[in-house]
Chains A and B, each alone.
Chain A
Amino acid sequence: MADDVLVSIRGLKTYYAIRGSFASRILGREAGHVRAVDDVSIELRRGEVLGLVGESGSGKTTLGRTILGLVSATEGSVQFEGREITKLSERRLRALRREMQIVFQDPHASLNPAMTVAQQVEHPLQIHKIGSGAERKSRVAETLSIVGLDPPEQFLDKYPSDLSGGQKQRVVIARAIILNPVLLVADEPVSMLDMSVRAKILELMLYLKRQLNLTYLYITHDLATAKFFCDRIAILYLGRIVEIGPSEAIYADPKHPYTKALLRAIPDPDPRRAVPRDLPPGEVPDAAQPPLGCSFHPRCPLAFEVCGWETRDLRDLLESRWAMQAQEDYEAEQALMGNLGALDEPASHVRLKAGSGRMGADVVALLESIRAASPDAPFWKGIRRIAADGQFAEIEWHEPIAPRPLDQGETTVECHLYDEDALAEAERRRGGTTAVGVETV
Chain B
Amino acid sequence: MTATPVVSVRDLRVYYGTPRGTVRAVDRVSLDIGEGEVLGLVGESGCGKSTLGRGILGLLPDGAASDGEVIYGGKNLVGMNPKELRRLRGPDLGLIFQEPMTRLNPLMRIEDHFRETLEQHEPKLSDREVRTRSLETLGRMGIPPTRFRQYPHEFSGGMRQRIMIALALVLRPKLLVADEPTTSLDVIVEAQILGILSDLRRNFGTALLLITHNLGIVAEACDRVAVMYAGQIAEEGDARDVFGEPAHPYTRELLRSTISLETVELHSIPGAPPNLIDPPNGCRFHPRCPSAMEVCASRDPVEQALGDGRRVLCWLHGPDELIPEDGREPLEREEIAIAEEA
Contact = CB atoms under 8 A, between A and B. Distances in A.
B213 A195 contact: yes
Interface in A72-111: none
Nearest to A194: B44
Interface string B161-190: 000000000000000000000000011111
Interface in A255-272: 261-263, 265-272
Nearest to A201: B268
Given A56-B186, A195-B259, A325-B139, A203 B342 contact: no
Contacts of B213: 194-195
Give chain B's interface secondary structure class.
helix
Contacts, number: 171
**By CB atoms of chain B within 10 A, which of A196, A200, A322 has the most?**
A196
Contacts of B194: 267, 275
Given A56-B186, A199-B259, A274-B220, A167 B239 contact: no
B159 A265 contact: no
A367 B283 CA distance: 65
Interface string B261-274: 11100111100100
A191 to B, nearest CB: 10
A323 B143 contact: yes
B140 to A, nearest CB: 8
Interface stretch (B73-81, B110-118, B144-152, B309-317): B144-152
Categorize the interface residue count of chain A. Answer: 35 or more
Interface in B244-262: 244, 253-255, 257-262
Nearest to A299: B188
Contacts of B189: 55, 283
B146 A196 contact: no
B298 interface: no
Given A55-B186, A197-B342, A269 B268 contact: no
Contact of A320 (B142, B257, B337): B142
Contacts of A428: none
B107 interface: no
A205 to B, nearest CB: 11
Interface in A313-338: 319-320, 322-325, 327, 330, 334
A194 B42 CA distance: 11
A92 B146 CA distance: 52
Given A164-B272, A269-B216, A275-B191, A283 B186 contact: yes
Interface string B191-209: 1101100000000000000
B341 A228 contact: no
Contacts of B339: 149-151, 154-155
Given A221-B186, A283-B157, A199 B146 contact: no
A60 B231 CA distance: 38
Interface string A135-179: 000000000000011110011000000001111000000000000
Interface stretch (B56-64, B130-138, B319-327): B130-138
B158 interface: yes
A267 B237 CA distance: 20
A279 B342 contact: no
Which 7 pairs across A and B sit closest by C-beta, in order of nearness? A267-B216, A319-B144, A55-B186, A269-B215, A199-B268, A199-B266, A148-B338
Given A275-B195, A283-B159, 9 more contacts: A150-B338, A195-B44, A198-B257, A199-B268, A227-B263, A265-B191, A267-B217, A270-B219, A277-B195
Interface of A: 55-56, 148-151, 154-155, 164-167, 194-200, 202-203, 221-225, 227-228, 251, 261-263, 265-272, 274-275, 277, 279-281, 283-284, 319-320, 322-325, 327, 330, 334, 340
